[in-house]
Structure 1
């Protein structure tokens, strides 16, 4: 039997509005990919397609924490983020996939939060009753998604993502508070655990999966795997 297909989405943004370098976060791609790759046919996409920028800070973080999964991924899988598929080519294909997953890093706050093709694709995945997942800053892709009836995708649901207190420790000047935007979009449904500790929220009958921070990436990957096997 053919393996289920999972779409990973990376940011194309390499700069914050301040000019500071950004991109996607290494461990938030490496851990879910390593968990899912043996069980799924994975496509890697980004708004622009082609090379997607890796945040160099995440490489340093992986080294400082002796993250062997990320180290192996970095040294063996570079073709995955150097040859991403443009999101524009995937519109209309949500039915072929079991899940869509948004990798974090500050970059999604710059492009995916307002990208019309990403928003349309998320709406397609929702309408097809597919799994929608994101980790850390990846949930920024969800903050402006409305459904055909005008309701927000997150309305009445529990959701998590990078918190204000965690953000304060990064030293990065962000264009908005992800915690506040997720809380507004969900109608007060933002939930959180301890700063920097694993926290995953699964809702919508297993079809909405969000993780709070980099330490939640592996658990998000495991939750996606459980959901697509169900």
Structure 2
């Protein structure tokens, strides 16, 4: 029996939205749909900056109450996000993995965007020609990553993520430490978004197509399919 290659998923450890004092974290469908696409082909390891239980945004449970995949995942796979491995334990281990994927939700805007361990890990994976991927607010983890030559990873790269217009539509603009689209543009990224709000958009860039980003929750299943094609 051929052993499945490993793929590292990263969840936020940020449990509250500071400006509102309300719960936040990672967004359910942005884990479920890529996980379900990749799990038959990869051994998926779930991590977070703090390790242990990674906070699931309760709003994402309510928003996906009609999504049978998400509801089944909630019932059957609770241990995956309640027993995450600490992100720092993966430094220097990129050779063991096919890639790394950052799940969105508002949480990453507060912890993963500035997490130095995460930045080092992304640099290591990217420079080892491993796949680096993120969806929705997940690309917040890419914003401050610098390569070994001192340039920003996203500089001159075509990327996507939650658009400023989508953030404004959801009325979270004032609650964010920065706006994802604007910040990616400031770092020199060529930001692309779908024609309409919350429409599907997945972008492949990087060295040989190893940087894969998705715009919003609806892009989560498509990014899973895209990753499978790239690594086939």
Tell me whether the two structures share a fold, i.e. TM-score over 0.5.
yes
Q: Given the two structures, how large is their TM-score scaled by the length of structure 2?
A: 0.95
CA-CA distance at 1:171 after TM superposition:
2.4
State how far apart, in whole Å, the 2-side matches of 1:147 and 1:206 are: 17
State how far apart, in whole Å, the 2-side matches of 1:169 and 1:77 are: 32
> Could you say which residue in structure 2 is the equivalent of 1:48?
50
C-alpha root-mean-square deviation of aligned residues, in Å? 0.9
Give the paired residue count.
226
> Could you say which residue in structure 1 is the equivalent of 2:28?
26
After superposing on structure 2, the runs of 4+ consecutive aligned residues of structure 1 that deviate more than 2 Å are none
> Could you say which residue in structure 2 is the equivalent of 1:227?
230
- Structure 2 residue matching 1:98: 3-state secondary structure: strand
> Could you say which residue in structure 2 is the equivalent of 1:207?
210
State how far apart, in whole Å, the 2-side matches of 1:175 and 1:163 are: 15
- Structure 1 residue matching 2:7: 3-state secondary structure: strand
CA-to-partner distance for each residue in 1:94-117, whole Å, 9 max, x for gaps?
111001000000000000000011
What runs of 5+ residues in structure 2 fail to find an aligned partner?
A: none
CA-CA distance at 1:188 after TM superposition:
4.6
Any conservation in 2 of the 1:17–1:110 contact (CA below 8 Å)?
no
Q: Which has the higher strand share?
A: 2
What runs of 5+ residues in structure 1 fail to find an aligned partner?
A: none
> Could you say which residue in structure 1 is the equivalent of 2:18?
17
Give runs of aligned pairs for residues 79-90 of structure 1, distance below 5 A.
79-90=79-90
Any conservation in 2 of the 1:32–1:218 contact (CA below 8 Å)?
yes
Any conservation in 2 of the 1:17–1:175 contact (CA below 8 Å)?
no
Instruction: Answer yes or no: is 1:124 the counterpart of 2:127.
Output: no
Q: Given the two structures, how large is their TM-score scaled by the length of structure 1?
A: 0.96
State how far apart, in whole Å, the 2-side matches of 1:7 and 1:188 are: 24
